[in-house]
Amino acid sequence: MKTRPLAQDKSRFKTLTRRTMMLGGLQAGMVGTLAARMYYLQVLQADKYKVLAEENRINLRLLAPQRGRILDRFGVPLAINQQSYRVVIVAEQAGDIDSTLNAIGTLIPLGENERHRVLREMKRKHSFVPIMVRENLSWEEVARIEVNIPELPGVQIEVGRNRYYPFADRITDVTGYVAPVSEKELTGDPLMELPDFRIGKAGIERAQDLELRGTAGTSQIEVNAFGRVVREINRDEGQPGAEIATTIDMALQDFTMRRLRSEESATCVVIDVVTGEILTMASSPSYDANSFTQGLTNTVWNALNADPHVPLNNKAIQGVYPPGSTFKPVVAMAALDAGLITPDFRATCPGHFTLGNHDYYCWKNKGGGHGTLDLHGGLKNSCDVYFYEVAMKIGVDRVAAMASRLGMGAPTGLDIPNERPGNIPTKAWKLAKYGIKWVDGDTPSIAIGQGYIASTPLQLATMLMRIISNRKIVPHLVRPAGIMEPGKPFDPDLGAKDYPSMGFNPQHIAAVLSGMNAVTNEPGGTAYGARISEAGFEMGGKSGSAQVKQITAAERAAGVKKQDQQPWKDRDHALFIAFAPVGNPRYACAVVVEHGIGGSKAAAPIARDVLRECQRRDPSRRVPPDPMIVADAGPSGPAAPPEKTP
């Protein structure tokens, strides 16, 4: 056996030792680096990675704030939020979606549109996200679902809140309604993209939308690695929207709507002539705002649009009508203000007015007409010939200038949207619109509120308010001072202090109001039969009938049918403007009964009844101790308000 030299063994040992040390050093370095990195991550960067881990574990979600209530002047709720129930389905738990939806459809109504929407949303969202199947369930529907939950995999009932209008279709034209945000209304605000968020679409809801919305809340949700909700960690409901107090007296509004329903289609406005506050703005027929918030069906929508009475229109501000003889006070004020007549100016009515080779008839064109009249008699008897004479004396442009000063021919500035301007013609207007000059024969029809002239009922009430108050008051529906509370002193000048003067001669105002007083309170007045007989409650007024169909020569030759023998849509509109009490006017009222034929017979009795009720509730004398109260909302909505107004 051959032995290795000792020197060779020592050399091999040294080589092994160096390699071992190098390997050990490398291992030690790697361990040190790892330790340093772990120290850096777990100690020096601990806060950073803790935050990142929390962000992965916790989702922050926006919560729609509770919308502010809308109240009447005494605090009666007109728009509230009530608890609602909806049924949702989770796709990953439901299994066969079609079978589950079919099963739900046997328990509650479920249309094809709703089914298609659910299936569409399931394709866009994660399978564990709940999809709303139907909302606003009744108690009975909730019960039917809950009883059958064991046989409905992935189905559950959720609780939410929705907008509710306790008075349904009696105040919709003022409150408006809310509905989901459309794609074109998105502004980038993430709150508006929430599936249960609603915005105002009409009326106060739209005009005061930002104030009513409030501030969004937040919900901290813990989720797992797949994004599935584990639990809610924290919840901030946000700031509810502001409460908006309106000028409306809901009891008077309720009374007015019930009164208007005796006619096919009608509207009524009452304004406080000192403050410009609108106490009632009623349009009949109307529609139930709750049908919009709860999801309008195509059948209901089509029926509303096809209705010839146009229930979707607020006739007080969107109905445009020839004012008829209710325009005569404007003609009188124009002539008096221009100094071209005095209250003693007299004209003779033989039943017609001849201009060139054309005769313009008075409504009393038989028996010699009205005879000789002054301004008082002209208004009392609504003599057309008297106002033909006055209008020809002053010209159309002076009439138009006065009408514009009184709030006609343009939106009044009301604080809800969609107010129509109407039309007040001038010489320049006709030339620009038709390319034809104004001729003398155009003026007589303007004198009696016909021809090219058109106005809204609100404009008629505003016109009368400005004559009475001698101030350029703007009508409004929102009370900046909030609700009126029992026991607090009433300020009769609230809201009227900053309105500029109209600059009218008080004697001219007195002359016009005296003639209107005679219309209802002197025998022979055109609306004497519709007077208020209670002492201290008497009203003054002016009737009007507005022709809506031109009578052709052939029809006249064949004999014109009586109004009540013509189709409803061809009959004259009936109008009446009024103020009360005559001794110290506080309220101005305008009533239009569409195709009601005669203002004195159809519209004046409505004005009488509404103004009598208005004065009975007069807040300048007292705050009613028993305003109409709405019951607390329950699962199926609040109780109906009492039939009898206080």
pLDDT tens profile 335-375? 999 999 999 999 999 999 999 888 899 998 888 899 999 99
Q: Which among 467, 469, 462, 472 is positioned nearest to 419, based on CA atoms?
A: 462
Segment 446-463, tens digit of pLDDT: 999 999 999 999 999 999
> 627 falls in which pLDDT band (50, 70, 90)?
very low
Q: Which pLDDT value is given to residue 323?
A: 97
Distance CA 576, CA 326 (A): 7
Q: How far is CA 125 from the centre of its chain?
A: 36
> What is the DSSP track for 381-445?
TT-HHHHHHHHHHH-HHHHHHHHHHTT-SS----SSS-----B---HHHHHHHHS----GGGHHH
Greater pLDDT, 555 or 573 = 573
Fold of 61-245: Penicillin-binding protein 2a (Domain 2) (3.90.1310)
Distance CA 527, CA 282 (A): 22
Q: What is the mean pLDDT of residues 98-108?
A: 86
Segment 246-261, tens digit of pLDDT: 999 999 999 999 999 9
- Percent of the chain surpassing pLDDT 90: 51
Q: Sketch the domain layout of the chain as residue ranges.
A: 61-245, 250-616
List the single range of 131-140, 332-341, 510-519, 604-613 with lowest mean pLDDT: 131-140
Q: Cβ(34)–Cβ(26) under 8 Å?
A: no
CATH architecture of 250-616: 3-Layer(aba) Sandwich (3.40)
Collapsed DSSP state (helix, strand, coil) of residue 581: coil
Q: Which pLDDT value is given to residue 490?
A: 56
Q: Which residues are part of the catalytic machinery?
A: 325
Most confidently predicted of 92-101, 294-303, 412-421, 566-575: 412-421
Q: Which residues contact 352 (CB under 8 A, 6 or more apart)?
A: 359, 360, 361, 362, 365, 369, 385
Most confidently predicted of 105-109, 552-556, 617-621: 105-109
Q: Which pLDDT value is given to residue 113?
A: 79
> 220 falls in which pLDDT band (50, 70, 90)?
low
Which neighbouring-strand residues pair with 80?
Answer: 164
Q: What is the mean pLDDT of residues 184-207?
A: 80
CA distances from 402 to 57, 272, 332, 338, 383 (A): 70, 22, 10, 10, 20
Q: Which pLDDT value is given to residue 637?
A: 35
- Percent of the chain surpassing pLDDT 70: 81
Which neighbouring-strand residues pair with 217?
Answer: 63
Q: Which pLDDT value is given to residue 219?
A: 66
> 625 falls in which pLDDT band (50, 70, 90)?
very low
Q: What are phi and psi of 269, to 5 degrees?
A: -130, 135
Segment 16-47, tens digit of pLDDT: 677 677 777 777 777 777 777 776 666 666 66
| pLDDT above 80: residue 214 | yes
Distance CA 419, CA 415 (A): 9
Q: Cβ(603)–Cβ(575) under 8 Å?
A: yes
Greater pLDDT, 107 or 481 = 107
Q: What is the mean pLDDT of residues 623-631?
A: 41
Q: Which pLDDT value is given to residue 191?
A: 72
| pLDDT above 80: residue 183 | no
Segment 118-172, tens digit of pLDDT: 888 787 666 766 777 887 788 888 898 888 888 888 888 877 778 999 998 999 9
> 644 falls in which pLDDT band (50, 70, 90)?
very low
Q: Which pLDDT value is given to residue 512?
A: 97
